[in-house]
Amino acid sequence: MPTHLRAVSLHALLLAALLIPTAAFANTASDLKHLQTFHLATQKSLGDFYMYNSMEGDQRYARMIDASRQQAREQLGKLANLADVGAAGLQTQLQQQWQRYDGELTALIAALQKQGYTDLQPVADLAARNRQVLEIAQALYEALQRMDGNAISEQMATTRELSVLMQSIAVNYAARSASVGASFSGDSSERPIEELVADFSARLSALRKQPGNGTAVNTTLDGVATKWRYIEGSLRNYNEKSVPFLVNKYSDSIIRSLADVDTLYAQPGSAS
């Protein structure tokens, strides 16, 4: 091989070697984002079902269920073909459990539309299946994080945990409003709602006090805090007056704002 061609080939190989870690980093970060969105959409689909049940078949919530399920399917489909054997195994389990959950949800919606009510046992089974899906999704998320600990920042991880907690609170509240109880919320911890609310308040306060927050992050978090204060009292005193519509509406808005914070943290210079 001529010397100049050999030099070009070596340069190309060196460049490819340098790009591999960057590509892997980008793939892991993307997969983590897809899993985060999948997790929230799967949680929300259960809360949407409870709202549909308690609101006597209000078609607005039927559309929300469809939107949540579609988003979950899309995000699951966007996951890369994982090279790690353990992660790939979890990915297969996740796809299988999601399909079972999706089928059970379809059957319950059909029963509710036909009978006007649902039996408690199938609802309990649905909540248990939802919990299984979320646990596998979390295990896969943690496996990917171990593979690349630098894929997301600590602030991004904290923001995503806060989003999941908000969704857990919303599903828990919707379950109570639908008169099926906290054990049907799909939350694997099954902590009392008062504890979940106190935890969210503490975590939000800590996130707002991060010294490296940029102006855009602080402004968005201030908006989250304002929305949170609007429903916090109702969440703490859930036995006094049920306001599922407000909690559902504001929790969705809070989660969207936290997704904006997550995006801001991913940008250079948004946090130290």
**CA dist., res. 133 & res. 73, Å (int):** 13
Looking at CATH, the fold of the domain delimited by 1-152 is given as de novo design (two linked rop proteins) (1.20.1440)
pTM of the model: 0.86
- CB distance 134 to 42 below 8 Å: yes
- The pLDDT assigned to 178 comes to 80
- The pLDDT assigned to 23 comes to 42
- CB distance 199 to 236 below 8 Å: no
Domain edges within the chain: 1-152, 153-272
- The pLDDT assigned to 25 comes to 44
- The pLDDT assigned to 79 comes to 92
- The pLDDT assigned to 24 comes to 44
**CA dist., res. 114 & res. 152, Å (int):** 46
Residues written for the chain: 272
- The pLDDT assigned to 233 comes to 94
What dihedral angle (degrees, nearest 10) is formed by the CA atoms of 38, 129, 194, 40?
10
- CB distance 248 to 47 below 8 Å: yes
- The pLDDT assigned to 189 comes to 60
- The pLDDT assigned to 203 comes to 98
- The pLDDT assigned to 139 comes to 97
- The pLDDT assigned to 270 comes to 61
Half-sphere exposure of 5 (CA within 13 A, CB side): 2
**CA dist., res. 238 & res. 235, Å (int):** 5
CB atoms within 10 A of CB 3: 7
> Which positions of the chain have pLDDT values less than 50?
4-25, 182-183, 272
